[in-house]
Structure 1
């Protein structure tokens, strides 16, 4: 009966009730603001052990207190390119959805990913919105189908999904039913993967990273393993391809790469990195390419995460009041 006050709960609730987002950021900052632990060298760069393969899925698992991307999102404003340089943050768009589509071979799911907006396309395929629907004409329906598509990958039930989308459990159950009906091939593959894991006691990625499965293992973790673990394989391969292409990779971040380049070469570096990421996805997913979105940070600008921008501005406003006019850092 106690309140759930962990970071993941606040993050989930903020999707339905944006006003609790800043409160969650504040709680996380107060609980974990240990900047003294942040591993920053004399050159101003954050370096820490990435703990590759530490997670069961083969994902990196660096210390949250020592890695800037493990801190509260507003603290990413501390990231700034050197004078004359720029940074680019490239992350795979809807990576887990794309991996699920490719590995399962579900034609409708693959078509949804290829549309450029798999969540809206899911709603169209399910008959919930007309074929002419766009983000602007049906934003609420798109958001509900997006939440459903993401929830499925983590085995979320109707009750939890209903809370997340702010709708009755019956409507959430209908969304899950539509997902099963629309992507039948995916669900057949997912069920078969689960059966195989329990029968053989293991499940492996394209390149052989294996999770050993006990009879009492959580089925949700097993179902999600192929997406997470093959995503990890993809990230490692993209790092290799990008580095071999002459790109300075600053950090791998879950499903993204942070790179740097002189301002005059930044656009070219982005193109090379995007090509490396697409190539990596094609290798892991048997010629099924995943696209990458890009955010550019040019000196003297700072990295800005939209989720933490309000907190960043608030902190600098408070500092300005305390110090009699400290200019806000943008």
Structure 2
């Protein structure tokens, strides 16, 4: 018997809607088909608005299927309908089945059909119909007919895909992933409150701000890098030479100037971070695509399961947490409201400790400061050492721990710590000796992945492993992939508890609450995060930290000097 046989009804559903940047969806129509009876429901917007719930069974005895279900769940919420109890997202399941495998035609519905050799009948004019929906507010009778037919063709296509995928799906994991799409829809609907007035003035006075930022950065570093507001490679190359910085170069001999190189070099040379922040800021000021709706909230597609590890991957240009840290200072609670930023404490270290069963790592995590715990374990500091008394030593062992999590070798560690390779080698030996069981487990993970061609998380998110896979990315997958599982479970638990999650941010959540109840909401959110960590890690619980701001205060996410310059530039306008 197939796992889905006990359900009385299985419905495939699709909505058509338009959704300008930063807005909530404007529902146009819906088509749903029950797979066993063949019954089809086709409804236009005016009929949908008359309903207080879905026009088909969506309770415990039914299964609802969609392709990219977060969009359909957003339409349910916009219409004020109760969400379906059981959801399977075929987009997510296709991603899971092909994760790590080249998909020639993309991860959209058409790409999935082509991948499995299924017909794409009725989807030939997909772009034309989507443009028709997006570009119009009023539709003729003929246009309505075409849009409904197109919507039904998507339903039929999803039904064909379901027939191929159904038997390979594992219950309850596929429904659990579907459950997360409901939380995603709730987060996308809520959005992140921002100071629109400040954003507007930053946009209007961009030229003045750019000049002020360049002047400030060049004064800080005592060197000129820009000519006519443009980064000058020759001037920067000379600054690197004078400073004696061993900067990575291209085959041509020129400096490698991509953002990844700047990020890595800034960890060794703090002044480089000033240049990197300035370059990123100027690009963002010139190409502002932050998605802000008419209600003053940043909203964009959160793209769940888009990364190889199953994490969300929203657009870095549209999502405020994808921008430079200084811009996050425009996040501000509304009057009477509060925001809380809650993140797991050393999530990856805790996951590695629990999954490997390394008691020494668990003890180091439970100490409250795994970096200092590691230093104490190898005798680098006294048992009474604290962050205040031995901050420099802690920073060294923190770099070692983080480097090991990403399979950094002695050369990379030496560059990061600005020490000799011999010193870096000895530090790595200390880590191997202190956490030997972790190293043995990590080696087994990599060997198993190469032999079986597959990696899995605790809740069965999968990644195919090609023959030429990078062992470093394989070694880090259990931490990243299970960290994503933890985020999803916490989000689902918190959504069910009524917590107002604005957004997931890698290993953290931004939540919104009334100012007088935010403390209890934070406690509830942290409880959900603790339960999620225990569920993923076999009972081992991870800590979380919380920072709360109430109106009219703001968070300080870093990049203070940029924010200070912008505020000084806007002082004459009393903003």
Q: TM-score, normalised by structure 1?
A: 0.95
- What is the Cα deviation at residue 35 of structure 1? 5.9
Aligned position for 1:312: 563
- Find out whether 1:45 has 2:297 as its counterpart: yes
Q: 2:518 aligns with which of 262, 266, 270?
A: 266
Distance apart, 1:129 and its partner CA: 1.3
Task: Give the structure 1 partner of residue 50 of structure 2.
Answer: none
8 A Cα contact 1:203 1:210, kept in partner: yes
Is the Cα contact below 8 Å between 1:46 and 1:67 reproduced in 2?
yes
Give, in angstroms, the shift of residue 7 of structure 1. Answer: 3.0
2:308 aligned residue: 56
Q: Which stretch has the larger CA shift, 297-306 or 249-258?
A: 297-306
SS of the residue 1:90 aligns to: strand
Q: Determine whether 1:8 maps to 2:255.
A: no
| Distance in 1 between residues matched to 2:546 and 2:268, nearest whole Å | 26
Residues 164-313 of structure 1: matches in 2 within 5 Å?
164-306=416-558, 308-313=559-564
The alpha-carbon deviation at position 10 of structure 1 amounts to 3.0
Can you list the C-alpha shifts for 1:35-79, whole angstroms capped at 9, x where unaligned?
Answer: 642111000111111111111100111100010000111000110
Instruction: Tell whether the 8 Å contact from 1:22 to 1:310 is kept in structure 2 after alignment.
Output: no
Structure 1 position 17, deviation (Å): 2.9
Distance 1:120 1:195, change over 3 A: same
SS, match of residue 504 in structure 2:
strand
Distance (whole Å) between structure 1 residues aligned to residue 433 and residue 443 of structure 2? 14
Name the CA distance, whole Å, in 2 between partners of 1:9 and 1:98. 28
Residues 1:33 and 2:285 aligned together: yes
For 2:523 and 2:407, how far apart are their aligned partners in 1? 36
Q: Which has the higher contact order (CA 8 A, sep 6+)?
A: 1
Deviations 1:214-257 (A, max 9, x none): 11100000000000000001001111111111100000010000
1:326 aligns with 2:568: no
Pick from 330, 343, 353: which aligns with 1:78? 330
Query: Counterparts of 2:324 and 2:473 in 1: how far apart (Å)?
Result: 26
Distance 2:426 2:518 in 1: 46
1:161 aligned onto 2:413: yes
What residue in structure 2 maps to residue 101 of structure 1? Answer: 353
The answer to whether the Cα contact below 8 Å between 1:87 and 1:260 also exists between their aligned partners in 2 is yes
* Contact 1:34–1:65 (CA under 8 A) maintained in structure 2: no
**Residue 397 of structure 2 is aligned with which of 135, 145, 148?**
145
**Matches of 2:549 and 2:365 in 1, distance apart?**
28
Q: Distance in 1 between matches of 2:260 and 2:330?
A: 23
**Range with greater deviation from structure 2 (91-100 or 34-43):** 34-43
| Equivalent of residue 343 in structure 2, options 82, 85, 91 | 91
Q: 1:299 to 1:311 in 2, by over 3 A?
A: same
Over 3 Å counting, the alpha-carbon distance change for 1:13 and 1:36 in structure 2 is closer
Q: Which residue of 2 aligns with 1:114?
A: 366
What SS is found at the alignment partner of 1:33? helix
Deviation at 1:318, TM superposition (A): 2.8
CA contact 1:22–1:311 (8 Å) conserved in 2: no
Shift of the alpha carbon at 1:20? Answer: 2.5
Counterpart contact for 1:92–1:256, Cα < 8 Å: yes
1 CA distance for matches of 2:522 and 2:278? 34
| Residue 23 (structure 1) aligned with residue 275 (structure 2) | yes
Cα shift at 1:11? 3.2
Structure 2: runs of 5+ lacking an equivalent = 1-248
Report the Cα distance in structure 1 between the residues aligned to 2:443 and 2:511, rounded to whole angstroms.
38
Question: Does the residue aligned with 1:37 lie in a helix, a strand or coil?
Answer: coil
Please list every run of at least 4 consecutive aligned residues from structure 1 whose deviation after the TM superposition is greater than 6 angstroms: none
Q: Does 1:66 align with 2:318?
A: yes
Q: Over alpha carbons, which structure has the higher Rg?
A: 2
User: Tell me, what secondary structure is at the counterpart of 2:468?
Assistant: coil
* Cα deviation digits, residues 166-203 of structure 1 (max 9, x gap): 22221111111111111000000000000100000001
Distance of 2:514 and 2:378 partners within structure 1: 47
Provide the residue aligned with 2:190 in structure 1.
none
- Per-residue deviation at 1:18? 2.6
Report the RMSD for the aligned CA atoms in angstroms. 1.4
- Residue 34 of structure 1 deviates from its aligned partner by 5.5
Q: Which runs of 5+ in 1 are unaligned?
A: none
Q: How much does 1:314 deviate? A: 1.4
Number of residue pairs matched by the alignment: 323
2:277 and 2:398 map into 1 onto residues whose CA distance is: 23
**Whole-angstrom distance in 1 between the partners of 2:428 and 2:285:** 39
* Structure 1 position 297, deviation (Å): 1.3
